Amino acid sequence: DARVTQTPRHKVTEMGQEVTMRCQPILGHNTVFWYRQTMMQGLELLAYFRNRAPLDDSGMPKDRFSAEMPDATLATLKIQPSEPRDSAVYFCASGLSLLSGYTFGSGTRLTVV
């Protein structure tokens, strides 16, 4: 089965450091999402792209978060500077349409100390 690949799987970093998370969507999928999962808030939509163009990033703290798709095979989510409250699992998902379902990666577990 085709998979969404996220790297790294785990990341521990110190407060103030830059963190970059990467996602390889399934080939041919034109929509890519970034979600953040925490115990308190559950799953929150951070940003999404269609055909590599950013459509909505209203869920992201703009002062420290940025999301890009430099090409169709790579999406990145960057946090600079990182803070302890950014500790969460970050999921990337890709798909063709809502009704066909989105495929999620296994997530990046970020811990900021």
Partner 1 sequence: GDSVTQMEGPVTLSEEAFLTINCTYTATGYPSLFWYVQYPGEGLQLLLKATKADDKGSNKGFEATYRKETTSFHLEKGSVQVSDSAVYFCALSDKGGADGLTFGKGTHLIIQP
Q: Which residues bind partner 1 (CB under 8 A)?
A: 4, 33, 35, 42-43, 45, 48, 55-56, 91, 93, 97-99, 101-107
Cβ proximity to partner 1, 29 vs 105, nearer residue: 105
Contact 6, 105 (CB under 8 A): yes
Q: How far is the CB of 86 from partner 1 (least distance, A)?
A: 19
Q: Could you give the CA distance from residue 85 to residue 61 in angstroms, rounded to a whole number?
A: 12
Using CB atoms within 10 Å of the CB of residue 66, give its burial: 0 to 12 exposed, 13 to 18 middle, 19+ buried.
middle
Q: How far is the CB of 69 from partner 1 (least distance, A)?
A: 15
